[in-house]
Structure 1
């Protein structure tokens, strides 16, 4: 099957327009995640009001809408057709794609230059430089907040370790049920914050060079041409490769530093996949595997009755055991 106009459009959309759209959404979503974590860490009193699930959904929908909106013009600024040309051997005639700018771009003088300067300057300023600068500032603030929280925790630990007159049972209960839960929550919170700091650092390592190259290209195209585009093409290709490699690195960071992410990923992805690969056993197989259990269910064994008194006694005993542990 040869090239046609719609196929040329789809090909250009998949290699040019769609990657830029998802790249814009990725940058803004990363910034939103960092802002949310900053509110949780540095403004904990307002986190329950601003960092809700409903507000998060609104922000995600808004970011996706803005990402699509700023790329809408790129889906209609070119017309695609095919022409027949000689092949590599000089004998075969094959169809190739022909791209022309749309009439609304070429109707007015200098409209093409104004259009592309506006588009690229908007991407450089609001899609690349603004998120990168904001993420650098938020990373510094989050790290400083973690340092302050760690210093505060050490001071509280020193104060708690000072000798006090209290019974052994009271001290044991406080250490088991109070400090352990508090330390676990604090440890999980610090781990989540550190995970986000590392993810943002990896994001900035691969995103800042791309932002610099985009800014240099925009300046060279709109002000004064000074770039060696053959060298710039090789540099951008290397940067794009590092960006692709950073995605599995980020996934490894999430899995290695967040227990909640591992649990959520297992329940959403791994468990359904395992159920698809390994179907649930039939009732006949369960009876064959557990013949003794089937006998008990059929009434072959003695019946067991649990009364309210037994449950109450067990609950009371468990409460005593828990209290005296």
Structure 2
């Protein structure tokens, strides 16, 4: 590492990393526990019979992926970043195997949630842009196929990560092992234990490592962010256009004395708003735009950072490790951003969907011993 490299992110990066890592485990653990509970509720509510729709099926698949990511992260947060399990050997072979598994598993299911979010945006765009074709293109069968494809293809897309890492014995302090580790080795905690200790090490093949960073930053992060940014803008423009058209129709209706003309205008407004229930359609679209905005806020910084690392590999050894841990983009700061994005969907659904709130309330009354069961409500399908 030469003097020019040191100029990047120094010394603020390492100082920040050392300060933040002390509290990261406890913050991440709290988010994972709350997020796991929230996503479990999302699955329970969205899979109810009265909630069945193409949009809610995708949201259910998204909640499953987010839930698995959080459950997988809890042991990591406990074991590495907190003192709760400090007495356990953090460099045992079994733990190295788990970290190896975690690196692949978490990235795979996070990628699944990314592409399901894209599917959700595409489905919504079709619903408001081509309402006549919505029932054909976005029917239940096609939705299930899209979800299945995401769960089948994303593990293949993340397969190169499997070849980027391997488990290696940590060199002995007493000189009995001539093995050397490079700058990209993931050593959790070197101790004086007599038992052999292990580390996750990155491949020495720089071409493979660079290719993996291009896959991670461009195909898994940047392209989805660009696509979602475009779709978000289109959805917002379409909502504004629908609002203006509805306002014009209301003004015409107010000054029209012919009752038949009023009915025709109202019917026309409903059709143009998305096949009936224009206000309901707009509420659903606004909720999804908020969901996409949240996704972009958590994923775009990772995409940009990953792209810069792929363009300038020397940043991987300096800046990337200052803000990341040692296993392929699943570092402390980046992890926290992804976990927050996966955990707050429940709050978003509750705040923006009356149907979700009603179904959740009735489900809670059935499960909890207190309270009385309310009257059933008519499903407000988008």
Alpha-carbon contact 2:116-2:150 (below 8 Å) kept: yes
Matches within 5 A, 1:193-208: 193-208=285-300
Distance (Å, rounded) in 1 between the aligned partners of 2:224 and 2:194 = 48
Residue 146 of structure 1 pairs with residue 245 of structure 2: no
Q: CA deviation at 1:98?
A: 3.9
Classify 1:88/1:124 alpha carbon distance in 2 versus 1 (closer, same or farther; 3 Å): closer
1:115 maps to which residue? 208
1:219 maps to which residue? 311
Classify 1:88/1:5 alpha carbon distance in 2 versus 1 (closer, same or farther; 3 Å): closer
1:40 maps to which residue? 127
Q: CA deviation at 1:74?
A: 3.1
Distance (Å, rounded) in 1 between the aligned partners of 2:111 and 2:191 = 42
Q: CA deviation at 1:28?
A: 0.7
| Alignment partner of 1:5 out of 74, 93, 100 | 93
1:228 maps to which residue? 319
Residue 158 of structure 1 pairs with residue 251 of structure 2: yes
Distance (Å, rounded) in 2 between the aligned partners of 1:228 and 1:76 = 23
1:238 maps to which residue? 333
| Alignment partner of 2:350 out of 255, 279, 285 | 255
Classify 1:265/1:29 alpha carbon distance in 2 versus 1 (closer, same or farther; 3 Å): farther
Q: Which protein is richer in helix relative to its size? A: 1
Aligned residues: CA RMSD: 3.8
CA radius of gyration, larger in: 1
Unaligned runs of 5+ in 2: 1-87, 174-188, 373-382
Distance (Å, rounded) in 2 between the aligned partners of 1:38 and 1:228 = 38
Q: For this pair of structures, how many residues does the alignment match?
A: 260
Q: CA deviation at 1:161?
A: 0.8
Which consecutive aligned stretches of 4+ in structure 1 deviate over 6 angstroms post-superposition?
86-89, 181-184, 223-226
Classify 1:121/1:159 alpha carbon distance in 2 versus 1 (closer, same or farther; 3 Å): same
Residue 273 of structure 1 pairs with residue 360 of structure 2: no
Q: CA deviation at 1:188?
A: 1.1
Classify 1:83/1:138 alpha carbon distance in 2 versus 1 (closer, same or farther; 3 Å): closer
Matches within 5 A, 1:36-185: 36-75=123-162, 78-80=165-167, 90=192, 92-99=193-200, 112-164=205-257, 185=277
Distance (Å, rounded) in 2 between the aligned partners of 1:239 and 1:193 = 28
Unaligned runs of 5+ in 1: 281-325
Q: CA deviation at 1:46?
A: 1.1
Distance (Å, rounded) in 2 between the aligned partners of 1:119 and 1:136 = 24
- Between 1 and 2, higher relative CO (CA 8 Å, sep ≥ 6) is seen in 2
Classify 1:76/1:224 alpha carbon distance in 2 versus 1 (closer, same or farther; 3 Å): closer
Classify 1:54/1:130 alpha carbon distance in 2 versus 1 (closer, same or farther; 3 Å): same
Distance (Å, rounded) in 1 between the aligned partners of 2:319 and 2:267 = 64
Range 226-235 or range 189-198, more displaced:
226-235
Range 112-121 or range 204-213, more displaced:
112-121
Alpha-carbon contact 1:217-1:227 (below 8 Å) kept: no
Q: CA deviation at 1:189?
A: 0.8
